[in-house]
Every structure is written in C-alpha cells, then in structure tokens.
Amino acid sequence: MKEDRERKRRTAVLLISGGVLFALFLVSLTFGRYRVPILDVIRILFHKLWAGVGLDRVLPMTVTWTDAMKKAVIDIRLPRVLIAMLVGCSLSAAGATFQGVFRNPMASPDILGASNGAAFGAALAILLGCSSHFITVFAFIGAIITVVLVFLIAQRAPGQRTVNLILAGIMVGSLFSAGTSYLKLVADPSNQLPAITYWLLGSLSGTRLSMLLPAAIPMGVGLVPLLLLRWRLNLLSLGDSEARALGINTDFLRAVLILCATLITAAAISVSGVIGWVGLVIPHLSRKLIGSDNRGLLPCSMLTGGAFLLLVDDVSRSLLQTEIPIGILTAVIGAPFFVYLLLRKEKTL
C-alpha cells in the first residue's frame, strides 16, 4: 500500500512538473520586444506541424497571423526556448547524477572541471576570431579534454578513486581557469575581452535553429542512459560493498554515469556559456517535491530544471531594455534559495 501511494505521488508530481514545463514553453514564445498573443503562438506551432506532415495541401488552415509573428515565433524564439529547456534539463540531470554517484549533496555539474575547460576553449576560439559555431565546438572539446585528463590522473593516483576524481577535478579545473585568465589578459580589450567576459556570464542570445541539432544529439546520448540506469543509481547510495553484493559492477556503473553526466554538461555549457547553480539547486528542490528515490528524482530534476531555466531566460530578456546574462540571474536566485534550503534543513535536524 505504501509503495502504491508513493508511486501515485511520484506520478502526480511528474505530471504536474511536465504540465508546468509545457505551459512555460508556450508562454515563453509570447515574450519579446514584439509581443505575440498566446493563441496565435498555438496556431503558428500547429500550422508548422500541420504543414510538416503535408496535411496543409489537403486541409489548408486559415492564416490569422502575420509573417512577422511567424518569423518571431519560429525563427527567433523557438530555438532559444528549446535550447533553454535542453540546457536546464541537462544541467539538472547532471547535478542529480553527480550528487548520487559521489554521495555528496554539494556536488554539481562542474565538479570535474568541465566548466573551466569549456570556458578555456571558448575564450581560445574568441581570441582566434572564430565564428559562433566554432566557439561552441571549442567549448565542447575543452570540456571533454578536461574530464579526460581528470580521469587519467585519478586512475594513476593511489587511494580511493572517487576522492581522486574530485581532487583531480579541482586541480585540472584550476589549471584551465588560470589559462582562461591568461587569455583574457592578452585579449584585445576593445573587442575580444568583452566577448569572452559575456560568454563566461552565460547567455542564450543569438541561438539559431542550426545550433539545436548539434546540441540535442550529445544531450540525448547522455540523458537516455541516465534515465535507463536511474534505479541503479539508488544502489550506489548503499555503498560499494553492498552494491557489489547485489551483483552490481560499481566501478563500471560509476564510470558510465559520470561519462554520461559529463557529456550532457559539456554539451549544455558549449551552447549557453557558464550557467551556475542550476545543477546544484534544482536537484535539492526536486528532492523536496518527490523524494530521494532516483527513479523519480532524475526525471523530476530534468523537468524542473527545464522549467526553471525557461523562466529565468524569460526574465533575462524581458526585465530590462538590455538583456541580463542568465548566469547572473541564476546566481541571484540560486544562492539565496540554497541558503533557505540549508536553514530549513538545519531546523529539521
């Protein structure tokens, strides 16, 4: 009976989270300098799907919107909204995974230095005068190289492998952070330095449809195994000896989970810049909503993270005349909220 109640509660929370995410998706397409009514947004999206399968030739729809509305929704806002959902989903899922793997509530997606490597790669691309597509590629490669170095160092170091990964992540991340600082030092202060600084603050401005598929593929490759293995993530919380007694190859499972979480982190950072706090705060919020069972926690973190970053992005491009970088807003919202969670937890002890 208790298991049935927990399952129903978990399902209800996931359905509500999915409904909130879908509602924010539609509302986000109405925001911008050129407002589009939500009914027109729905009609434009439905027409896009209707025409995509060729049904508009058989049953043509009545057009009630202007070309400017369609361009604003499909070409400008839709790619940005979808990227925001994917990035929020990926960072939150990576944060929940790392917290489960390392059994550390303070673990976040950049625990292995992926953010520092991506920042170095992006700064190097900007310094070389590369286009936005190559900046994304350099950031992704930088993140992957960083984590590969962390794994190589952790394997050769004596002692507990989990602790070695964290220590190697701190060391390699600091090294790439120093490299980024040097690139900022030698960058042109009138052009390159502002571009590097703005990228490091995190932003989704300038997102285009051409960026969607290259970002979605590695995110999907990483997210699907995490979802399939989420019940095994519960076994790691028991400890290695107990998990091995249940027939789990803990070293292999831990490596797969870390690699998948790192892949989606690198893909997310490469298209959005460095966005902090999402992967740290959202899993904690999801635990309050659905509990610590990773069978529900991981999907809830993904849905809640996507909704959170969508909301933050809406605020960033609507609050002031000039767009506020997302990294600033996530820190402003995330830090006080995390303090609230810590104080609330302290009171319950």
- Structural domains present in the chain: 2-348 (1.10.3470.10)
Q: How confident is the model at residue 9 (pLDDT cuts 50, 70, 90)?
A: confident
pLDDT at residue 207 is higher than 90: no
In angstroms, the CA 113 to CA 174 distance is 8
Of 166, 176, 153, the residue nearest 269 (C-alpha): 176
In angstroms, the CA 318 to CA 27 distance is 13
CB 325 within 8 A of CB 260: no
pLDDT at residue 30 is higher than 70: yes
In angstroms, the CA 34 to CA 68 distance is 9
pLDDT at residue 156 is higher than 90: no
In angstroms, the CA 115 to CA 139 distance is 9
What pLDDT is attached to residue 110? 84
Alpha helices in the chain (DSSP H): 2-28, 38-52, 67-70, 78-101, 114-127, 132-156, 161-186, 192-201, 209-228, 230-236, 240-245, 250-272, 278-290, 294-318, 326-348
- Specify the higher pLDDT residue, 347 or 182: 182
Structure tokens at 172: 């390699």
Summarised one tens digit per residue, pLDDT across range 70-109 is 888 988 899 999 999 999 999 999 999 999 998 888 888 8
In angstroms, the CA 222 to CA 110 distance is 16
Of 136, 89, 83, 146, the residue nearest 115 (C-alpha): 146
What pLDDT is attached to residue 244? 79
What pLDDT is attached to residue 52? 63
